Amino acid sequence: MPRFFSETSLAAITPGQEICLPDAIFHHAVRVRRLKSGDDCILFDGDGNVWRVTLTGIDKRRAFVRAENQMPPPPPPSLPITLALAITAVDRMDWALQKGTELGVAAFLPFYGEHSNARLSDARQERRFEHWQAVIIGACEQCGQNRLPRLSPPVPFDTLLNTVTGEAAAWRLDADASQTLAAALQNARTLSPPEQVFLMVGPEGGFAPNEVRAADAAGWQAVRLGPRILRAETAAAAAITLVQAALGDLA
């Protein structure tokens, strides 16, 4: 059944209520997916409210749906994973956000590394942020994820280093690290499994030496993935998969 993200909260909807579809969903549902009166679809607001609705009327600019039944709220992630991702070229970043969402990342934290070659003006940053948000929403619509991963505005490297709190494992992906992520996960499983995981992936140019020192000092453990240098987005997807398989919902 087609699934559409509603920017408007669905918390106050009641069964049988008739609502007008927001413009973005109208376009997507009626023009792109060609839904007709009588068709069912799912609306979710990313905050845990999920409804099965039936299209009751369509005109040139609007469509109405009737709320049929509320679906059970999605369970919270078994292991919240935050992916800190150095800002890179648009398509690589999109890929990482899309695959990260599919693989169950709970929060994305883009950051500027010293070797990030993309530095965005405020206006471009805002447009990029909206674009990233749209990529995440598209991935949620497609993969059945009803809880929208959080997306933070880009932060400087220092701010990123200090976002880790509580019983968390913080791993910085680095091809030069002496320990593998697999070994770190094995350790975490036998000692004390973390309540949440932070993964940091660097830009195309890798981490600058002073960033490596600062991350070490802030308690981020450097870990490597096998013997090859991966593209940032590949490293992100591989690391999330390993973490989910060892401690999360791919186990």
55 touches ligand SAH by CB under 6 A: no
Distance of closest approach, residue 127 Cβ to ligand SAH, in angstroms:
24
207 touches ligand SAH by CB under 6 A: yes
| Cβ-based nearer residue to ligand SAH, 61 or 119 | 119
Distance of closest approach, residue 181 Cβ to ligand SAH, in angstroms:
7
Could you say which of 53, 135, 140, 201 contacts ligand SAH (CB under 6 A)? 201
Q: Total residues at the site for ligand SAH (CB under 6 A)?
A: 17
Could you say which of 175, 182, 218, 250 contacts ligand SAH (CB under 6 A)? 175
208 touches ligand SAH by CB under 6 A: no
174 touches ligand SAH by CB under 6 A: yes
Q: What is the chain's alpha carbon radius of gyration, rounded to the nearest angstrom?
A: 20
Could you say which of 46, 100, 149, 202 contacts ligand SAH (CB under 6 A)? 202
Binding site for ligand SAH (CB under 6 A): 173-175, 201-202, 204-207, 224-226, 228-230, 232, 235
